[in-house]
Amino acid sequence: MNNKINTSLFVACQQCDALYDKPHLKQGQLAKCNRCGSTLIERKVDSIERSFNWSLAGLMLMLPAIMLPIMGVTLAGQFHQASLFDCILVLIDRGFFMIASLVFLFAIAVPIVRLAGALYISYSFKFNKLRPSLLNFFRAYHHLDNWAMLNVFMLGIVVSMYKLIDDTELSVNLGLLAFIFWLICSTMSAVALDQDYIWDKLEKAFAKAEVQDENS
């Protein structure tokens, strides 16, 4: 079998391993696998600019979304409200460590790290400050893909509001608005980030491994 295949001329499907010639896409186009229908390569419009702006907005919204109270209840003359941060404090206080750490991880830590990561990557590309450490950084960034659950938490808020509205007086606070915007920003910044483009650029910038291959 011919081992001298120029690997940069081909792409393989991530889901079924089918091999294709690498398509040349314009912005906004995407290529799909003929066999299993999953996306092979996507070229997103204005990727760097967009993800930079979305992640910056997301990081600014982070503090209000976490610290402002999301909703409050009035029952028998008593009023009590809670923010996302209170949520974790109360859960720790009452000894539910597992849920506390889960809420912290999936609804606070992972989204923040993802936003900060997207910001750092798009910042380095925007101002052309590419460093070799970005390779490791962007690879690590992909590990978090599955674990941001802000959207599930949002549905959780809706469900528990529906639950509470039945037999208590429910008040909605600014925190909910901030949380919704935060959710939108973090989703958009992840969607806007064009992985194929970023990897291509990084490869061109640090193609030392490629050179070693040819020498050996």
Total of residues contacting another protein (CB under 8 A): 69
**Least distance in Å: CB of 79 to another protein?**
9
CA-to-CA distance for 157 and 113, rounded, in angstroms?
Answer: 22
The nearer residue to another protein, 45 or 97, going by C-beta atoms, is 97
Nearer to another protein, 56 or 102 (CB): 102
Residues 58-97 that bind another protein (CB under 8 A): 71-73, 75-76, 78, 80-82, 86-87, 90-91, 94, 96
Chain centre to alpha carbon of residue 90: 27
192: amino acid identity, one letter: A
CB of 100 closer than 8 Å to CB of 88: yes
Separation of alpha carbons 189 and 187, rounded Å = 6
What number of other Cβ atoms are within 10 A of residue 148's Cβ?
A: 23
Is residue 138 within 8 A of residue 121, CB to CB? The reply is: yes
Nearer to another protein, 129 or 208 (CB): 208
Residue 178 found at the interface with another protein (CB under 8 A): no
* Residue ranges in 16-55 that form contacts with another protein under rule CB under 8 A: 16-19, 34-38
Instruction: Round to whole Å and give the CA distance between 140 and 147.
Output: 13
How far apart (Å, rounded) are the C-alpha atoms in residues 41 and 32? 7
CA–chain centroid gap for 122, Å, is: 13
Stretch touching another protein by CB under 8 A, among 55-63, 116-124, 162-170, 179-187: 162-170
Binding site for another protein (CB under 8 A): 1, 3, 5, 7-8, 10-12, 14-19, 34-38, 71-73, 75-76, 78, 80-82, 86-87, 90-91, 94, 96, 98-100, 102-103, 106-107, 135-136, 138-139, 142, 146-147, 149, 152-153, 155-157, 159-160, 162-164, 166, 168, 195-196, 199, 202-203, 209-210, 213
